[in-house]
Amino acid sequence: MTGPDVSDWQTFLKIQGLYDGIVDGAFGPKSDGSTRNYQTRAGLAVDGVVGPRTLARAIQDGYKSTTGASLAGMDTRVNCARAAKNIAAAGMKFVARYYSHVTAKTLTPAEAQSVSNAGVEIVAIFQDLNNSADLFSSDAGALHAARALALASGIGQPAGTAIYFAVDFDPKAPQIQGPVLDYFKAVRKALSAAPIQYAVGVYGSGLTCRLIRDSGCAKFTWLTCSAGYQEYAAFRPHADIVQLAPERTILPAVPIDDNIAQSANFGSFRLGQRQAAANRA
């Protein structure tokens, strides 16, 4: 990895007295060895990876980011209700979960409450089959927005927070400015007309995030982990959330992608106790 986040990490390790190399933004052997030394001293799993637990501990020890908030989080396709406390204990500050027409992967009210009770924020993202240009259109945007709004209302997602919508391929600029933009215009129209107002977020390549954000159709951006996608490196410092690779298993039967929130506000939410009581009633 390279970039300003690596420079910030090297600076932190240098302050800790563990890194005597150059702060050059390139995570090489010296950075790896110094990270392992930090993990050993902190009583963490020693793997040389600045994952959620390492980042959470480093923040306690004074780590500061120059690019944003740097909160550790995860996304997963499985229900987190039973694992919520363990997820919090692993240092995760947020969990991204799905709204979808596929019931098996959809965030449920009980799950949202369990995650909230554990002190973990939730990021909502709509995803069905969103992996080719022919699946994007105004009609698809309206359909997906309606489903997302119904699910958000069902769990009591607070107004003003975000619903991200996924673009799971690497479109060229004409595809983004054509069917993908038509899709997001329909999403924005539906969310703007809803009784409860939510912000629109976009998940995808750097080019997708930039063009949809700049069109005014999305407030928040979430950069995919696919580093080969267009404008990945250029957009990475500007994304509200950055997904990291590779996928791993944090707990039995909970496969995750690690994520870093780079903005203080990235559209996340927690359900309050008052909301919980109302939902039970």
Span 118-165, pLDDT tens digits: 999 999 999 998 899 999 999 999 999 999 999 999 999 999 999 999
Per-chain mean pLDDT for the chain: 91
Contact predicate 212/218, CB 8 Å: yes
d(CA 254, CA 143): 29
The predicted pLDDT at position 182 comes to: 98
Is it the case that residue 62 has pLDDT exceeding 70?
yes
3-state secondary structure of 227: coil
| Higher per-residue confidence, 9 vs 91 | 9
- Ramachandran region of residue 3, left (φ > 0), alpha (ψ -120 to 50) or beta? left
Count other C-beta atoms under 10 Å from residue 77's C-beta: 16
192-228: per-residue pLDDT in tens?
A: 999 999 999 999 999 999 999 999 999 999 999 898 9
* 92-115 pLDDT, tens digit each: 899 999 999 999 999 999 999 999
Percentage of residues of the chain with pLDDT beyond 70: 95
| Residue 17 banded pLDDT, cuts 50, 70, 90 | very high
Residue range 6-22: average pLDDT?
95
Reported confidence tier of residue 246, pLDDT bands at 50, 70, 90: low
Strand 199-204 to 94-99 pairing: unpaired
Band of the pLDDT at 273, cuts 50, 70, 90? very low
pLDDT for the residue numbered 260: 85
CB atoms within 10 A of CB 245: 11
Task: Write down the pLDDT at residue 68.
Answer: 66
Residue 275 binned pLDDT confidence (cut-offs 50, 70, 90)? very low
**pLDDT value at 26 more than 50:** yes
Q: Any idea which of 4-13, 61-70, 116-125, 165-174 has the lowest mean pLDDT?
A: 61-70
Nearest to 242 by CA among 219, 226, 254: 226
Domains of the chain (ranges; CATH) run: 4-60 (1.10.101.10), 71-280 (3.20.20.80)
Nearest to 54 by CA among 36, 29, 80: 36
Residue 64 pLDDT grade (very low, low, confident, very high; cuts 50, 70, 90): confident
**78 has a pLDDT exceeding 80:** yes
DSSP-based helix, strand, coil % in the chain, nearest 5: 40, 20, 40
